[in-house]
Amino acid sequence: MSPEVSIIVPVYNGENYIDACLKCALKQTYENIEIIAVNDGSKDRSGEILDEYAKKDSRLKVIHQENKGLSGARNTGIHAASGKYVIFFDVDDTFEETVIEDNIKLAQEHQADVVMFCFWYYDVDTKQLKPNAMERLFVGTNKEYFENYLIQTMETEVFNAPWNKMIRKDLLDSNQLYFDPKYPIYEDIIFASKLLGVAEKLVVNNKMYYKYFVRSSGSLITRFYDTFFDCVSEYYKHAAAYCAKYENNDKQKARFAKLYATLTLMHLKQISCRKELAKERKMQLIGRICNDSQFRDALMLVHFDVPKKNIMKKMILEKKCALICFCYKVLGKISRQH
């Protein structure tokens, strides 16, 4: 019997997390599953630990490959999956025993292309668990989701992640929909923007099943990437194309634009405060952002709740690169003093 659900787990140097993750996967109350662990060139004992687990449970399949990054590992899992639905879990997170059973039931009952569900944030540093549930269950067409529920899922970040979505496998195959290895950061929202553009029937389960571990040290988003702006621009390109499918899209496009602008302002601060960057390089990177036509158009759709961000918006539109850099450096010094 073919598995109904393929659980795809990318693993890179995850020896400290594998036990907790695989125990969650192997204890699922829904039995018709396969677990595909992709050892993405790990340099620790991850591969050995995975092989040991595979010997004990035939539902676990281990693929060893040279390092291709998170996107490449997830894509390997997609190609190897034989389930009707696929779901992506990160090796350093945990999830409930009923996550597959409850969400495959919704997928089958409503013939859904995608089922999204809610989650907790767990701050590893403070040991705080923050619930992130939505108010109600949603079932409907893409149009109904876009018009009535999209913004709510963006506000709660239920839209963003790949690990809270059960996706029909043939939807990915027929649309050649994979993670793009060219973008090492925010590949999740790039993927989500493309996915929601092709899904026809959607379910949003308002219950929480997944514990997302927030780790400040070593996180991808805390590192500096020269290609950061390329990544968030790619996300917005697909988000704008998704919005263009619908006539009444002003609110939705503005919300996507706000995320684009917020992330880009964060990057501008990174550039301005980064000591390793020469002044000329800072001006080059800031100037490129200020002159980007897609970003400028998106910024025109945005009004920030924080006044200083609106001031920064004005400076960007006026292309005052040196002033942007100076202001962020001053703000950075103030924040460090407090």
Residues 230, 205, single domain; the answer is: no
Q: Which of 82, 80, 85, 122 is nearest to 100 (CA)?
A: 85
Which helix or strand (DSSP H or E) is residue 64 part of? strand 60-65
One domain, residues 206 and 64: yes
- CB under 8 Å to 278, separation ≥6 — which residues? none
Query: Both 92 and 160 in a single domain?
Result: yes
Question: Is 305's pLDDT higher than 80?
Answer: yes
Is the pLDDT confidence value at 136 over 80?
yes
Q: Could you tell me if 190 and 319 lie in one domain?
A: no
User: How far, in Å, are 145, 288, 334 from residue 140 at the CA level?
Assistant: 6, 41, 48
Q: Mean per-residue pLDDT for 150-171?
A: 96
Q: Calculate mean pLDDT across residues 235-262.
A: 96
Q: Are residues 294 and 250 in the same domain?
A: yes
Cα–Cα distance measured from residue 243 to residue 197, given in angstroms and rounded to the nearest whole number: 8
pLDDT tens digits, residue range 257-304? 999 999 999 999 999 999 999 999 999 999 999 999 999 999 999 999
Rounded Cα distance, 117 and 314, in Å: 38
How many independent structural domains does the chain possess?
2
Q: What is the mean pLDDT of residues 113-122?
A: 97
Q: How far apart are CA 204 and CA 103, in angstroms?
A: 10
| Residues 35 and 157 grouped into a single domain | yes
Indicate whether 185 and 285 sit together in one domain. Answer: no
Query: At a CB cut-off of 8 Å and minimum separation 6, what does 12 contact?
Result: 39, 40, 41, 42, 46, 67, 70, 73, 91
Check residue 226 and give its pLDDT.
Answer: 86
Among 133-137, 166-170, 214-218, 275-279, the range of highest mean pLDDT: 166-170
Cα gap 133→325, rounded to integer Å:
38
pLDDT value of position 33: 97
Q: Are 77 and 97 within one domain?
A: yes
Q: How far apart are CA 46 and CA 338, in angstroms?
A: 41
- Of 165, 190, 218, the last residue of a domain is 218
Q: Are residues 211 and 232 in the same domain?
A: no
- In angstroms, how far is the first alpha carbon of the chain from the final one? 61
> How much of the chain exceeds pLDDT 90, in percent?
92
Tokens of 187: 């590949």
The per-residue pLDDT for 335 is 43
Same domain, 150 and 239: no
Q: Write down the mean pLDDT value for the chain.
A: 94
Based on the domain organization, do 30 and 67 belong to the same domain? Answer: yes
For residue 336, pLDDT beyond 60: no
Over residues 45-91, the pLDDT tens digits come to 999 999 999 999 999 999 999 999 999 999 999 999 999 999 999 99
**Do 210 and 273 fall within a single domain?**
no
Of 183, 218, 253, the last residue of a domain is 218
Which CATH number does the domain housing residue 107 bear? 3.90.550.10
Q: Is pLDDT at 222 greater than 80 in this prediction?
A: no
For residue 238, the enclosing domain spans 224-337
- Domain stop point among 218, 233, 250: 218
- Residues recorded for the chain: 338
Determine the average pLDDT of the residues in 30-37. Answer: 97
Rounded to 10 deg, the angle between the 321-337 and 307-317 helix axes is: 160
Q: What would the two tokens of residue 252 be?
A: 């939705």
DSSP state of 246: S
pLDDT band at 207 (very low <50, low <70, confident <90, very high): very high
